[in-house]
């Protein structure tokens, strides 16, 4: 699934699963099984997020999720925060596609140098000045949130809202992914705001039926026209 124009990866449009180890543990599900089920339902981007595990466990988890996703269908696998983990998983033969970097993680340029030109690299940015600071020659997409405050990331105390999301999408020359407190009912507003993707943890990981929840998100996305409101509309499907 890597290999957009000019060898650069491009972010698949639509629902994006952030498979969070703590949320999965709370509901007694294996992240690898959950990710595979979501990919069989049509999700095309999976991020591995585990904030409270050691680095060795995170490598094991990344390999397990990546291997399960590869068998399930054509989807990209990214690692939250950790370029070293992505590289270690690759060294073990897992086809990790890239990373999602926060504002205090490794700089995107360093990540690009380590991961290579074909990797998919996303960064978090919500405020217009942070969005403008992202280098489109290095980064592939921007994650903007939390759109709503969410228990999954309690330290994020300010919500961007849909206005903030729309402003980020208009400001950015890169595709924008919305995240934070989002679910099925938000698909129309996220698309109207001009986002290329809708990232969720709880709406899939904690759903009564994760495969069905993922399928409904995918179908809702496909049924909605996009907002086409900003420079990031290029390539929005």
Ligand X SMILES: Cc1ncc(COP(=O)(O)OP(=O)(O)O)c(N)n1
The reply to whether 145 sits in an annotated binding site is no
81 binds ligand X (CB under 6 A): yes
Interaction between residue 146 and ligand TZP (CB under 6 A): yes
Q: Could you say whether residue 66 binds ligand X (CB under 6 A)? A: no
* Number of CB atoms found within 10 A of residue 71's CB: 10
Q: How many residues bind ligand TZP (CB under 6 A)?
A: 15
Residue 72: CB atoms within 10 Å: 19
Number of neighbours of residue 215 by Cβ within 10 angstroms: 18
- Residue 70, marked binder: no
Nearer to ligand X, 208 or 237 (CB): 237
- Does residue 20 interact with Mg ion by CB under 5 A? no
**Are 5 and 34 a contacting pair, CB within 8 Å?**
no
3-state secondary structure 132-172: HHCCCCCCCEEEECCCCCCCCCCCCCCCCHHHHHHHHHHHC
Q: Which of 19, 86, 123, 156 binds ligand TZP (CB under 6 A)?
A: 156
CB closer to ligand TZP out of 182 and 193: 182
Secondary structure, 3-state, 169-184: HHHCCCCEEEECCCCH
Residue 201 interacts with ligand TZP (CB under 6 A)?
A: yes
Cα–Cα distance, 160 to 199 (Å, whole number):
14
Q: 110 in helix, strand or coil?
A: helix
CB of 155 to Mg ion, least distance (A): 11
Number of residues that bind ligand X (CB under 6 A): 15
* Residue with tokens 């543990």, as numbered in its chain: 25
Site for Mg ion in 79-108 (CB under 5 A): 80-81, 102
- Three-point CA angle 15, 213, 154, nearest 5°: 70
20 is in an annotated binding site: no
Shortest Å distance, C-beta 199 to ligand TZP: 7
Which of 124, 171, 172, 202 is in the footprint of ligand X by CB under 6 A?
A: 124
**Cα 102 from Cα 22, distance rounded (Å):** 19
CA distances to 109, 133, 154, 197 from 211, rounded to whole Å, are 36, 37, 26, 18
Closer of 21 and 68 to ligand X (Cβ): 21
List the single partner that 170 binds among ligand TZP, ligand X, Mg ion, none, CB under 5 to 8 Å by kind.
none
Q: Which residues here bind ligand TZP, judged by CB under 6 A?
A: 18, 145-146, 150, 152-153, 156, 179-182, 200-203
Q: Which residues here bind ligand X, judged by CB under 6 A?
A: 18, 47, 49, 80-81, 100, 102, 122, 124, 143, 145, 153, 177, 179, 199
Q: Which residues here bind Mg ion, judged by CB under 5 A?
A: 80-81, 102
């Amino acid at each position: 699934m890597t290999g957009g124009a000019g060898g650069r990866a491009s972010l698949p449009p639509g629902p994006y699963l952030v498979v969070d180890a703590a949320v999965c543990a709370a509901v007694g599900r294996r992240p690898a099984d959950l990710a595979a089920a979501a990919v069989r339902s049509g999700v095309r981007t999976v991020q591995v997020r585990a904030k409270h595990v050691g680095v060795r466990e995170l490598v094991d988890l990344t390999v397990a999720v990546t291997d399960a996703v590869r068998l399930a269908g054509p989807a990209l696998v990214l690692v939250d925060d950790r370029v070293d983990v992505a590289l270690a998983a690759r060294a073990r033969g897992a086809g990790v596609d890239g990373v999602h970097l926060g504002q205090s993680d490794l700089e995107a340029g360093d990540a690009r140098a380590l991961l290579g030109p074909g990797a998919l690299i996303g960064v978090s940015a919500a405020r217009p000045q942070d969005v403008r600071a992202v280098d489109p020659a290095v980064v592939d997409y921007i994650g903007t949130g939390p759109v709503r405050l969410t228990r999954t990331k309690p330290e994020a105390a300010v919500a961007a809202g849909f206005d903030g999301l729309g402003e980020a999408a208009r400001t950015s020359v890169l595709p924008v992914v919305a995240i934070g407190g989002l679910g099925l009912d938000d698909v129309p507003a996220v698309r109207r705001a001009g986002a290329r993707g809708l990232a969720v943890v709880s709406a899939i990981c904690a759903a009564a039926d994760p495969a069905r929840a993922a399928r409904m998100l995918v179908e809702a996305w496909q049924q909605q026209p996009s907002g086409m409101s900003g420079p990031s509309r290029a390539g929005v499907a």
